[in-house]
A and B are shown apart, each in its own frame.
Chain A
Amino acid sequence: MSESVFIAQAGLAECPRKRRLPARLDLLQSGSGLILALFMWGHMFFVASILLGETAMWSITRMFEGYFFLGGSQPRLVSGVVAGVLLVFVLHALLALRKFPISFRQLQTMRAHVKAMRHEDSTLWIWQVYTGFALFFLASAHLYQMLVWPQNIGPYASADRMWSDGLWPFYLLMLLAVELHGGIGLYRLTMKWGWPNASRELLKKLKWALTAFFLILGLATLGAYMKIGFEHRAHYGERYQPEHLPTWLEHLAPQGDFAPPSERAPTPIHPLERQP
């Protein structure tokens, strides 16, 4: 075993100079939170594409699968992005744990403090703890699902997940947790680092406006998927396939996929379905 381990065990790791690590951990916590919050904004816009129609959502999904660039869908690309997000998420959770109340006494003290003080920013912090705790489980489950079954993202596949698989309450809870946690977190980042140097009142208003906007967008999106899922319940498992795309997009699609039916390559028949 190395010498440093024994020195650390003796409680002398910070002698004669203090460790630089806490500074880096603080930066990493802020940085990973910022990445996740910005990712969530982008993510929300992508999933909200369902509000523009099934074809819009299908096209965006396919774009991320490389369909328009690689000559075919590669859902593994989505898994790759999910793996990256999962890594940042785990790092952020690990670092944020340092700030959690870690004993009943601490939780009790903090709750009494927040309740008696009625100070908005302190109250927001305790909500960040609650929502962050919920996200340990909700976001982990969601990320795992997307990592392992990236092909199940699409207008019908996602809608079936909401309705026929009965996951809409899960997504509703996650939406509330993410939007509250991310909104408060971004506001706190600006307070923590003093950038941008705008007035606190303005930043607070902006924070609430953004939270309200993303919550409304998220609820509308969730509703849209539930509606499609309800209407599609009899055809559970069937995937969406648009007849046509906007012309410019059809040009990007692998050759022949959106050609007139007479020019289309015959759909390959699965070996098991072949007649003897």
Chain B
Amino acid sequence: MSAEQHNAPRKVTLNILRYNPQDENDIPRLQACDIEEADGMTLFIALNEIREHQDPTLQFDFVCRAGICGSCAMMVNGSPRLACRTLVKELPQVSTLTPLPFFELIGDLSVNTGKWMRGMSERLETWLHGVEENVDLRKIEARMTPEEADAVYEMDRCVECGCCVAACGTAQMRPDFVGAVGMGKIARFRLDPRDTRNDDDYFEVIGDDTGVFGCMSLLACHDVCPKSLPLKTQIAFLRRKMALIG
């Protein structure tokens, strides 16, 4: 084998779901796009290449390109992942890309996760409760132990990419389910010593079958979370706490 052949870039086929929900005559289909793999190429780079050189109409989302904004989540061979954190070399020669299910489809691979996340956030009131309205800036802030800060920060790493909801079997069947992201948020505020809510208050928002008792512990959320959040442990913990309230 010559050196040239040895270094020849691998050809990869991406079958990309194409569909425009605004066009009532459009039919969902998979479009095959061939690309040449480059060193360190992520799926996000590959998609940009396809849009630039093959099909400028391809829709997909991205902002940060570094796994921080959570915009580029999509189903890669049936499982949700962030395109910017997926190396093409990890993929088989033929892969399928589809939009995240559950969320409103904008077109092709682009979905409106923000709309659902906002609704969930309003429903679960995922913000600090009990913070004084007129903060006296001259006063020293209440202290938080480093352990508390670490625990809050651990859950705060969630980027709301929607992977956990797209992977969740319960959410696919029951659209009113809050998903791991919702329960993760509650777990986060529960850990925050500044939040004045107690478990009774948390029960009001997640203590039913659309919340923690609807979770069937399929744990796909835990397995696909691009930020490796301890969702399994947190949901089990919340379930025990909420069961005690009942």
Contacts and interface: CB of A to CB of B under 8 A. Distances in A.
Interface of A: 17-27, 98-99, 101, 106, 109-110, 113-119, 121-122, 125, 188, 191-195, 200
A110 B78 contact: no
14 contacts: A19-B208, A22-B209, A23-B243, A26-B239, A98-B209, A106-B173, A114-B169, A117-B220, A121-B217, A121-B220, A125-B216, A125-B218, A192-B236, A192-B239
B78 A109 contact: no
Contacts of B173: 101, 106, 109-110
Contacts of A26: 213, 239, 243, 246
A27 B243 CA distance: 7
Interface residues of B, number: 32
B219 to A, nearest CB: 5
Interface string B210-246: 0001011111100100000000110011011011011
B207 A191 contact: no
B174 to A, nearest CB: 8
Contacts of A98: 209
A252 to B, nearest CB: 44
Given A109-B172, A121-B219, A20 B209 contact: no
A23 B216 contact: no
Interface string B135-149: 000000000000000
A106 B177 CA distance: 14
A194 B217 CA distance: 10
Interface of B: 75, 78-79, 101, 167, 169, 172-174, 203-204, 207-209, 213, 215-220, 223, 232-233, 236-237, 239-240, 242-243, 245-246
B197 to A, nearest CB: 14
A27 B217 CA distance: 14
B246 A21 contact: yes
Quick one: which of B101, B204, B218 has the most chain A CB within 10 A? B218
Contact of A117 (B167, B207, B216, B245): B167
A19 B208 CA distance: 8
A110 B213 CA distance: 19
Nearest to A109: B172
A95 to B, nearest CB: 11
B232 A119 contact: no
Given A26-B213, A193-B240, A122 B218 contact: yes
B236 A194 contact: yes
A188 B216 CA distance: 8
B219 A191 contact: yes
Nearest to A115: B78
Contacts of A115: 78
B219 A18 contact: no
Given A20-B203, A193-B240, 19 more contacts: A18-B203, A18-B204, A22-B209, A23-B242, A23-B245, A23-B246, A25-B213, A26-B243, A98-B209, A110-B169, A110-B172, A110-B173, A114-B169, A118-B79, A121-B218, A122-B169, A191-B217, A194-B232, A195-B236
A117 B78 contact: yes
Nearest to B204: A18
